[in-house]
Structure 1
Amino acid sequence: MIRTLIAATAMIALGACTPAAELDIPDVEPGEISQDTMVDITRTLSLDEFEGRMPGTIGEEKTVALLIERFAQAGLQPGNGESWVQQVPLVEITGKDFAPLAVRGDGIDLSFDFGKDWVGVSYREEAQTILADSELVFVGYGINAPERGWNDYEGIDMTGKTAVILVNDPDFGTESLEGPFNGKAMTYYGRWTYKYEEAARQGAAAALIVHDTDPASYGWNVVESSWSGPQAYAQRGDNAPPLTIMNGWLQKGVAAQILEAAGQDLATLSAAAREESFTPVPLGLTAGTRFANDMRSYQSQNVIGILPGSERADEYVIHTAHWDHLGRCTPAPDGDDICNGAVDNATGTAALVALAEAHVKAGAPARSLVFLAVTAEEQGLLGADYYAANPVFPLAQTVGGINMDAFLIAGTSRDVTVVGPGKSRLDDFLTKALEDDGRVATPNPSPEAGYYYRSDHFAFAKRGVPMLYVDGGEDLVDGGREAGEAVSKDYRENRYHGPKDEFSEDWDWSGVMADLQLFYRLGRMLANSTSWPNWVEGDEFKATRDESCAASQTGC
Structure 2
Amino acid sequence: MPSSRPSASVRKSARWARRERSAPISEQTLKDVTKELSSDAYEGRAPGTAGEEKTVAYIAKRFAAAGLKPGNKGSWYQDVPLVELTARNVSPLVFKGAGEPLSLAYGPDMVAGTWRIAPRIEVKDSPVVFVGYGINAPEKGWNDYAGLDVRGKTVLILVNDPDWQTPGLTGPFNGRAMTYYGRWTYKYEEAARQGAAAAIIVHQTAPAAYGWNVVQSSWTGAQQVADAADNHAGASAMIGWMQEAQARKLFEREGLDFDALSAAAKRKGFHGRPLAGVTASIAFDEAVRRHRSRNVIGILPGTQRPNDYVLYSAHWDHLGHCEAAPDGDDICNGAIDNATGVAALVALAEANVKAGAPARSQLFLAVTGEESGLLGSEYYAANPVYPLSQTVGGVNMDALSLAGPAKNVVVVGKGKSDLDGYLEAALKLQGRVASMEPTPEKGFYYRSDHFSLAKRGVPMIYFDGGDDLVAGGKAAGAAAAKDYEEHRYHGPKDEYDPNWNWAGTVRDVQLYYGIGRALAQGDRWPNWVAGDEFRAIRDKSRASAATQ
Which bracket does the TM-score occupy, shorter chain normalised? Answer: 0.7 to 0.9
Structure-to-structure mapping, 1:66-105, within 5 angstroms: 66-101=58-93
1:531 corresponds in structure 2 to 525
Structure-to-structure mapping, 1:144-163, within 5 angstroms: 144-154=136-146, 156=148, 158-163=150-155
Structure 1 residue 257, shift from structure 2 partner = 6.0
1:187 corresponds in structure 2 to 179
CA distance in 1, matches of 2:402, 2:205: 30
Preserved CA contact (<8 Å) 2:203 2:243: yes
Preserved CA contact (<8 Å) 1:147 1:538: no
Describe the shift of the 1:342–1:259 C-alpha distance in structure 2 as closer, same or farther (beyond 3 A). closer
Structure 1 residue 168, shift from structure 2 partner = 1.0
Q: Say yes or no: does 1:403 pair with 2:406.
A: no
Q: Say yes or no: does 1:139 pair with 2:106.
A: no
1:370 corresponds in structure 2 to 363
Describe the shift of the 1:319–1:530 C-alpha distance in structure 2 as closer, same or farther (beyond 3 A). same
Describe the shift of the 1:47–1:273 C-alpha distance in structure 2 as closer, same or farther (beyond 3 A). closer
Deviation by residue 1:283-324 (Cα, 9 ceiling, x = unmatched): 555544332222233433211112234455444332111223
Question: Which has the higher mean CA deviation after the structures are superposed, 526-535 or 81-90?
Answer: 526-535
Structure 1 residue 547, shift from structure 2 partner = 9.0
Structure-to-structure mapping, 1:127-526, within 5 angstroms: 127-154=119-146, 156=148, 158-237=150-229, 242-252=234-244, 254-255=246-247, 265-283=257-275, 285=277, 286-327=279-320, 340-485=333-478, 487-488=480-481, 497-499=491-493, 501-504=495-498, 508-526=501-519
Deviation by residue 1:258-284 (Cα, 9 ceiling, x = unmatched): 667878644343333222323344555
Preserved CA contact (<8 Å) 2:82 2:224: yes
Please give the TM-score of this superposition, normalised by the length of structure 2: 0.83
2:437 maps to a residue whose letter is N
Describe the shift of the 1:282–1:502 C-alpha distance in structure 2 as closer, same or farther (beyond 3 A). closer
Q: Say yes or no: does 1:33 pair with 2:37.
A: no
1:112 maps to a residue whose letter is S
Question: Which has the higher mean CA deviation after the structures are superposed, 298-307 or 471-480?
Answer: 471-480
1:126 corresponds in structure 2 to 118
Structure 1 residue 111, shift from structure 2 partner = 4.7
Preserved CA contact (<8 Å) 1:337 1:499: no
Preserved CA contact (<8 Å) 1:549 1:555: no
Structure 1 residue 371, shift from structure 2 partner = 0.8
Preserved CA contact (<8 Å) 2:93 2:104: yes
CA distance in 2, matches of 1:253, 1:335: 27
Any unmatched runs of 5+ in structure 1?
1-8, 13-19
2:136 maps to a residue whose letter is N
Structure 1 residue 88, shift from structure 2 partner = 2.6
CA distance in 2, matches of 1:373, 1:242: 30
Describe the shift of the 1:204–1:364 C-alpha distance in structure 2 as closer, same or farther (beyond 3 A). farther
Deviation by residue 1:13-72 (Cα, 9 ceiling, x = unmatched): xxxxxxx99895341423533414334434443555445444444443333223222322
Give me the CA root mean square deviation. Answer: 3.8
Preserved CA contact (<8 Å) 2:217 2:323: no
Deviation by residue 1:376-402 (Cα, 9 ceiling, x = unmatched): 434544433333343323444434331
Preserved CA contact (<8 Å) 2:309 2:363: yes
Structure 1 residue 452, shift from structure 2 partner = 2.8
CA distance in 2, matches of 1:166, 1:332: 28
CA distance in 1, matches of 2:96, 2:328: 49
Preserved CA contact (<8 Å) 2:221 2:322: no
Deviation by residue 1:341-380 (Cα, 9 ceiling, x = unmatched): 4443333212112212333344444443211112243454
Preserved CA contact (<8 Å) 1:329 1:339: yes
Preserved CA contact (<8 Å) 1:92 1:295: yes
CA distance in 2, matches of 1:500, 1:239: 34
Deviation by residue 1:487-509 (Cα, 9 ceiling, x = unmatched): 555655666543572252x6543
Count of residue correspondences: 537
Structure 1 residue 169, shift from structure 2 partner = 0.5
Please give the TM-score of this superposition, normalised by the length of structure 1: 0.82
Describe the shift of the 1:476–1:190 C-alpha distance in structure 2 as closer, same or farther (beyond 3 A). same
CA distance in 2, matches of 1:80, 1:507: 35
Any unmatched runs of 5+ in structure 2?
none
Describe the shift of the 1:93–1:523 C-alpha distance in structure 2 as closer, same or farther (beyond 3 A). same
Describe the shift of the 1:495–1:457 C-alpha distance in structure 2 as closer, same or farther (beyond 3 A). same
CA distance in 2, matches of 1:238, 1:177: 40
% same residue: 55
2:464 maps to a residue whose letter is D
SS in 2 for 1:193: helix
SS in 1 for 2:370: coil
Preserved CA contact (<8 Å) 1:112 1:118: no
Structure 1 residue 440, shift from structure 2 partner = 0.5
